[in-house]
Amino acid sequence: MGGLQGAIGWWMVKSGLVNNPDVSHYRLAVHLITAFLTCAFTFWVALPLIFTNKNTGNLKLFRLNFALLILVIIQIVYGAFVAGLDAGKGFNTWPKMGEKWIADAVFSLDPFWKNFTEGRFGVQFVHRTLALIIVVYILFVWIIGKNFILTKTQKGAITLSFLIVFLQTVLGIFTLILEVPISLALIHQVVAFLLLLSVVYSLFVFKKS
């Protein structure tokens, strides 16, 4: 996976050397998510070497965190779409998109599905909506966790994910309303990486040894 990153990086850059110096947002997303997943997998391999105690496990919370992992991966992909399409500069208001909850521009492209893969405003809408879904979902996981007798490590894992999601949401809102300053956008991306690792950590502590 690490070796493949070089080839993917060139494949991405090549898309910006044809007509315009602007890489494909699809290729940017592939490059970003493979880098993140490579680090996440490396972390997964390292965790049992760091924590040698046997896990008691919790199947329900493991499954809930696996679903969260999928949501976070999709959100990271859409974060790359936002960056590649400069979609962060579409509607710089929150919680509404301008004067509306869903701006008319979200549905401006034809065919309809292109709005959510190639349209700046549609991509921004998906990214900001998914952020709220993830916040509600992690809160749900945190509440469900209260119904179980968990170890200190397991409680810490859920709390860590919850805190990072909260921080990431606040960063995302400020990145949006301040019209995407590069420093804040970079911090937002780094925290996305930390969020992915926190979910991997949760999967590890809720996995049965």
Alpha helices in 86-181 (DSSP H): 120-145, 152-177
The answer to whether 118 touches 78, Cβ cutoff 8 Å, is: no
Q: Higher-confidence residue: 7 or 116?
A: 116
Q: Higher-confidence residue: 126 or 18?
A: 126
pTM: 0.91
| The predicted structure's pLDDT at residue 7 | 84
pLDDT band at 17 (very low <50, low <70, confident <90, very high): low
Residue spans per domain, the chain: 2-206
| The predicted structure's pLDDT at residue 53 | 73
Indicate if the pLDDT at residue 158 is higher than 90: yes
Please give the C-alpha separations between residue 193 and each of 85, 94, 112, 169, 196, in angstroms, as whole numbers. Answer: 20, 24, 31, 14, 5
Please state, rounded to an integer, the average pLDDT across all residues of the chain. Answer: 90
pLDDT tens for 63-99 read 999 999 999 999 999 999 999 898 988 899 999 998 9
| The predicted structure's pLDDT at residue 15 | 67
Residue 150, SS3 per DSSP: coil
Q: How far is 206 from 41, CA to CA, in rounded Å?
A: 17
Indicate if the pLDDT at residue 209 is higher than 70: no
Closest CA to 155 of 61, 44, 29, 17: 61
The answer to whether 199 touches 55, Cβ cutoff 8 Å, is: no
